[in-house]
Amino acid sequence: MKSKRDQLTAQRLHDLLIYDLNTGLFWWRFPRRKVKMDCPAGSIQSGRRQIGIDGRVYRASRLAFLYMHGEWPLYTVDHIDSNPMNDTWENLRLATHQENCRNKASYNKLKVKGVYRRRNGYEACLTINGEYRYLGLFSTPEEASAAYISAAQKLYGDFFRS
């Protein structure tokens, strides 16, 4: 296994691949074994494009950052539209883990972000800087959702997603 010191460099990446910032796809500069030149580099794994280089597999979004900035991202590379297949440059931004989580869709049973069913109503809550914030108990999921959206827009800014 390679150490961090042996990690892919921006120069090596530029030597091997071309990044199309409008489509978000990488293309091999030269023919490779078992790879068609008219197909984008990499493969889709777990809903993301990943590219194998020198025995290691990298997420295309992280490679895009290395390609464009010449250094590895210090934080998570967030997809603004929450689509991990959209690696266009305008759709990528650096985010802390917390910011990235704010930009995710809802996964609760109600399919309403920040709203949970309780015995006597619907609770609205959110987390900011690791701290749980109770927003109130409401009689309908719509009222609870409106409270969550109002608070989240103010607190999460550009990373807000309902």
- Tens digits of pLDDT across the chain (162 residues): 445 545 899 999 999 999 999 999 999 998 877 777 788 999 999 999 999 999 999 999 999 999 999 999 998 999 999 899 999 999 999 998 888 877 777 767 888 888 999 999 999 999 888 889 999 999 999 999 999 999 988 988 888 876
Q: Residue 55: phi, psi to the nearest 5?
A: 80, 5
Extract the tokens encoding 60. Answer: 């295309």
Q: What is the pLDDT of residue 59?
A: 96
Q: What is the pLDDT of residue 3?
A: 52
Q: What is the pLDDT of residue 115?
A: 92
Exposure string of 14-47, with b = 16+ CB inside 10 Å and e = fewer, is eebbebeeeebbbebeeeeeeeeeeebbbeeeee
Q: What is the pLDDT of residue 112?
A: 85
For each of the domains in the chain, give its residue range(s) and CATH number, in order of start. Answer: 4-95 (3.90.75.20), 99-159 (3.30.730)
Q: What is the pLDDT of residue 124?
A: 94
C-alpha 144/C-alpha 115 separation (Å) is 6
Q: What is the pLDDT of residue 47?
A: 92
Q: What is the pLDDT of residue 6?
A: 59
